[in-house]
Amino acid sequence: MERRYRAVEADDKVEDHTTQRTVQMPLRHTHHPAPEDASMTFRNGLDSLLRPEDSVLVLIDHQPYQLSNLNSHDPHMVVNNTTGLAKAAKVFGVPTILTSVLEARGGKIFPHVTDVFPDQPVIDRTFINTWEDRKVVDAVKATGRKQLIIAGLWTEICVAMPVIQALGEGWDVTVITDACGAVTPEAHQVAIQRMIAAGANMMTWLALAAEWQRDWARMDTALALNDVIKYHAAGSGIAFLWEQQLLNTPVPAN
């Protein structure tokens, strides 16, 4: 005989066969949707994509001391990806704030990054949490942008703290994970999970550049972005160069 089951509802009377008595089921927890203005909302729809005119980039503590104990990624790749990210921001005219912590002890930000913005001063801090440094926050606010993009070393400390604080203050925050790094792979992954739980968006630098570009018909940035991709997107860059070589190779006459 086919048995049909249904979910037990609150206040149902259910027979307990172990004691031969009827028991009252406790009230269930009811799901209450979060209000529309709550910070933990789904990130979807066209308006959720990142736009150059609304973006501001903060690069945090890409310094020798942090790089020397970077074990979550190949250090060469972090330098490459951070440089690609910085160059992409310049292509799209995205304001970029450079900040270090205790530069005199930890070393200067990688020249690969500062050379992209040769006339821009680096904001040196004592705060571990960048978002507690008024100079940095004021510089970000002065841009008038609302899409806050952050990358830095280390993920679990100097990235996680400002991201979580900024989210609590209502900023739309994206972390560029492959321009970050941590002392261990676990530290990097746990930090990412922590920031996602707080409401942050996660991307990689090339995905961000593509989202900023959005349409290859936008020729004012397409060619300059391709130059960045050629030198910092590894296989994609080499494939592009190869494609150009083939297109420019005359077809042999029969």
Distance CA(54)–CA(95), nearest Å, equals 10
What is the radius of gyration, based on Cα positions, of the chain?
A: 25
Please say whether the beta carbons of 58 and 150 come within 8 A. Answer: yes
Kindly state the tokens that stand for 66: 């942090």
Please say whether the beta carbons of 210 and 229 come within 8 A. Answer: no
Distance CA(229)–CA(212), nearest Å, equals 14
Residue 124 forms beta bridges with which residues? Answer: 100
Kindly state the tokens that stand for 95: 């304001």
Helix crossing, 160-168 with 185-198: angle to 10°? Answer: 0
State the catalytic residue, choosing from 50, 94, 109, 158.
Answer: 158
Is residue 158 part of the annotated active site? The answer reads: yes
Other CB atoms within 10 A of residue 204 CB:
15
Number of helices (H) and strands (E) in the chain: give both, helices first: 10, 8
Q: Give the active site residues.
A: 158
